[in-house]
A and B are shown apart, each in its own frame.
Chain A
Amino acid sequence: MAATVLLVRRRAWSSGLIATGRQFSTCRIAEREKNIAVVGGGAAGFYTAARILQKASDTNIDIFEKLPTPHGLVRYGVAPDHPEVKNCMSKFDDVAGSERVRFFGNVQVCGTSDKHQPGFLSLDSLRSVYDGVVLSYGASKDRRLNIPGEDGKILDSGDNNNNRLGVVSARQFVAWYNGLPEAQELELDLESYDKIVVIGHGNVALDCARILLTDVNSLASTDITEQALKKLSGSKIRHVEIVGRRGPLQVSFTTKELREMTKLDNVQVICDRQLLESECQSAAGQAYLQQSRALKRMMDLLLKHSVASEDASKEQKSFKLSFLKSPVEMLFDQKWNENGSEIIVPQLFRFQINRLEGPPESAKAVSTDSFTEIPCAMALRSIGYVSTPLDGAPFDKQRNIVPNIAGRVVDNGVVPGLYVSGWVKRGPVGVIATTMQDAYRTADALVMDINNGHVAGDNMPQSSRSAIDRMLEDAGVAQSRVTNDDWKRLEEFEIEKGRQFGKPREKVTDVQEMLSIIRNSA
């Protein structure tokens, strides 16, 4: 019955969307239907499509996604214990369900063809048949530390389980527990010692820490994969230390995520209270906090809920916020003095101690002559994501974005008909709401150009769904493509399988398996 209610509501919402669209389509120059391609089926792509649908009638949108599954980081990035954040998927479903939208899953734009994808599309071939192309392909790589030992050490014993892993990508760790196919072989060491070090003071670092410290039983009812649950239930990790180059006033996570850390069962929040207090109480710190309500609330939360290392109870698990340290190198199987006795620790992370220079809003970390070491089973790096260039589109290698003005791609002047939205437009920062706003900006620019006759299409009378379909057929993607209906059947399978485990869904984590479920249920 609840499902029926949702369906009724969904239909009402869709018709509302169409109704609102009506008022924006009065001032049109072009008569012909416009065809827009969106490259990337994550939040940026779907929000861009949603806005175009709402603001420009007579526009068809095709969304291209490398994976058979849509929703990008909403599916593979948002933590399993944040189901409410994933509610935006129902809006994406409304978009994908529109008659004017087609989903092309399992189609890579500008990638190399492999066994799942007989064809691939170049950006040029898209631009030859679409009036406009929106690049919303996000940021698929993560930043490395570039320190000795980062890639770990293979032990001579020949036993893979004993390999030292060095510093593993936090992004990969997140992708692993969220079921991203390419991350399922990720090696993790959650057993050889009781501590993990995370480098970076953003929300991804907090997500990793929270998943590692949360009682595994309370994750069992989320959409975390069974494989991840199994691995986590054997975890010996009791302490997670997240390390940043700078101080407490320079953290970039948000209050909600920090608050969650303070509410974890049997976990203490530890930080250098002396530093925290002196930073908050300095004249510059006070002035800075007065300007920023968000930071002020976050520091108050930390002051209220954290304890100093020396006051921490040995009985509880711990989440430690560690400041003013830059990674230097990772050492393996070192001697370590623990509670007066000498042991061998699997990994020893060496840091250089920093001090801060300059005002809090732009404080720089300056190295001192002191060093410190933290023993750990492994480390995770979470110092930001990076977008990669796409053949045929300009790319700013300094900023790692597609250069643009208000979402219009520029390359010595505006490139007609080429747009960009989401992380590849502004860099990989912000929450879903930020990406939504950003995608709307791009869509508004595109719709403005359509209304003013400035999209590429006006010199391109051949753009039509039949020309598009011919091109897709020729490129060999028409056969391997996953449609929205295909995806909904796969999702149905996941939800049904999830029911057996008492979860909202159990994700299929292998592309071949996804494709065969889709084919077999057709």
Chain B
Amino acid sequence: MSAVFTRSAALIRPQLQRLRSPHSPFSPASLLAVFGVQSLRLPCASSRLSHHRQTAAAAAFTTSAIRAKNVTVTFIEPDGNEVKATGEEGTNLMELAHENDVDLEGACEGACACSTCHVILPDSIYDSLPEPSDEENDMLDLAFGLTDTSRLGCQVLLSPEMEGMRIKLPSATRNFYVDGAKPSHH
């Protein structure tokens, strides 16, 4: 299982992630029927995460019909608003944010081709994760407000050790009002 980025897989990946979503009416079994086992491996092979993560994700994925562990985290939006979100192990943070109406973008829909799902992780969690891939780092290079613990939300999968994790969304708006006007209170 190489960590080589394959374009076709990148295209299938977001759709698979959608299918995997808890809100999806489709079970993993119907997914098997759609893509077949062979192509099912693609998202894992294309994952920019380590071998360990891939196997964990694959395991979470294939057994989710039986019982996947739920993990609850908190997103902190740029204005300080906090959103608690619970998702199955193996769900990526971008997908989790979208399912919970968190104000996080995802312009390329999880294909690791933009930097709009940039999230900031706690030091301890960041350190416990495998290094980001070259491709993810290439995108992080272009992210607004990059920090030492920045990741792309679409590349980080929920795992049990993330229970209670607080995820900051970068504040790209902090320099917006250069004319001295204050943003109105929503």
Q: Chain A interface (Cβ within 8 Å of chain B)?
A: 1-2, 5-6, 8-9, 12-13, 16, 19-20, 23-24, 26-27, 55, 81-85, 87-88, 90-91, 254-256, 259, 293-294, 297, 405-406, 408, 431-434, 436-437, 440-441, 444-445, 448, 451-452
Contacts and interface: CB of A to CB of B under 8 A. Distances in A.
Interface stretch (B8-16, B54-62, B161-169): B8-16
Given A9-B18, A254-B141, A433-B115, A441 B176 contact: yes
B146 to A, nearest CB: 7
8 contacts: A5-B26, A6-B18, A23-B186, A24-B186, A87-B111, A255-B138, A297-B141, A408-B179
B144 to A, nearest CB: 6
A451 B172 CA distance: 22
A19 B101 contact: yes
Nearest to A295: B141
Given A12-B23, A254-B138, A432-B107, 14 more contacts: A84-B108, A84-B111, A84-B112, A85-B113, A91-B107, A256-B139, A433-B107, A433-B143, A437-B144, A440-B173, A441-B173, A444-B176, A445-B176, A448-B181
A84 B185 CA distance: 36
Given A20-B101, A405-B178, A444-B173, A1 B113 contact: no
A448 B10 CA distance: 38
B184 A27 contact: yes
B173 A5 contact: no
Contacts of A433: 105, 107, 114-116, 142-144
Given A84-B7, A84-B11, A84-B111, A436 B105 contact: yes
Interface of B: 7, 10-11, 14-15, 18-19, 23-26, 34, 98, 101, 103, 105, 107-109, 111-116, 134-135, 137-139, 141-144, 146, 172-173, 176-179, 181, 183-186
A26 B11 CA distance: 39
A451 B34 contact: no
Contact of A294 (B111, B141, B177): B141
Contact of A84 (B10, B24, B146, B186): B10
Nearest to B19: A5
B118 to A, nearest CB: 9
B8 to A, nearest CB: 9
Contacts of B135: 256, 259
Contacts of B183: 444, 448
Contacts of B105: 433, 436
Report, nearest first, the 9 A-B pairs whose CB atoms are least far apart.
Answer: A84-B111, A294-B141, A84-B113, A256-B138, A87-B109, A88-B107, A255-B138, A405-B179, A24-B186
Contacts of B26: 5
A431 B23 contact: no
B171 to A, nearest CB: 11
Nearest to B81: A23
Contacts of B103: 20
B114 A85 contact: yes
B4 to A, nearest CB: 9
Contact of A87 (B14, B98, B173): B14
Contacts of B185: 27
Contacts of A436: 105, 107, 116
B178 A82 contact: no
A81 B10 CA distance: 12
A276 B111 CA distance: 32
A432 B142 CA distance: 11
Given A5-B26, A448-B183, A431 B142 contact: yes
Contact of B138 (A87, A259, A451): A259
Contacts of A432: 107, 114
